Amino acid sequence: MPEHMAWVAAGSAAWAASTGAGPAALGDAEDGALSAVVTSAAAAGVRWLTIQEPTSGRGLLAKREDLARSGIRLASLEGGSAPVAAPGLTVLLTRRGRGRAAIVEAVRRLARDGVDPGAVDEKAIGVRLDAPDVDLLVHTGGDRHVHDLLLWEVAYSELVVLETPWPAVGRAEVADALAEYRRRDRRYGGIVQSGSSRA
């Protein structure tokens, strides 16, 4: 099971155009997708869930207290400090264009901390970033391009592309993404030797 799962929620505009859904219906559908991903991740035992989607988590924020009673904590990646892990699921909400900005801020923290350039390594940078490394990155709506989301943290993550557009995502799509992750042979950037097989 992935400890940290991240979702890039794409396909809302195409879904609205194909279904004729107005703004209210689109908003309801997006809220439903958010709830499905969060509750499914919590039930599966995922510890961290990052979501980059059009509403910036508006539907979740309205239910913050109810989620907290269920052991689900909401946090923002916009605050400039790394969120602290919670006993249950921590949901990190982020806007588009946060990946490069987070790396720039990590470098600024290194400078403010007076770290000698010779001591800068992956660990020194990693502890100054906003989120833990991502195990599973899910793109919806058939979206296959690289997004500016947790660029450092998604190195070596498993990528799953779902053809389902974001507003139509439900528990079944989350289960499919998790099942695909479990089928993967994670190599963390390593190369499969000639003649070896993958699970």
Helix, strand, coil percentages for the chain (3-state, nearest 5): 40, 15, 45
- Give me the CATH code for the 4-183 domain, please: 3.40.1180.10
Give the Cα separation of 20 and 42 in Å (integer): 32
Q: pLDDT band at 32, cuts 50/70/90?
A: very high
For 135-190, write each residue's pLDDT tens digit: 999 999 999 888 888 999 999 999 999 999 999 999 999 999 999 999 988 776 65
59-85 average pLDDT score: 81
Residues 42-56 have pLDDT tens digits of 999 999 999 998 888
Host H or E run for residue 12: helix 12-19
Report the percent of the chain where pLDDT is more than 90.
60
For residues 94-105, give the mean pLDDT: 82
Q: Where are the beta strands (DSSP E) in the chain?
A: 4-8, 48-52, 72-76, 89-94, 136-139, 158-161
Q: Look at 196 and 122; give whichever has higher pLDDT.
A: 122
- pLDDT confidence of residue 95: 74
Neighbours of 162 (CB within 10 A): 22
Q: Is the pLDDT of residue 192 over 60?
A: no
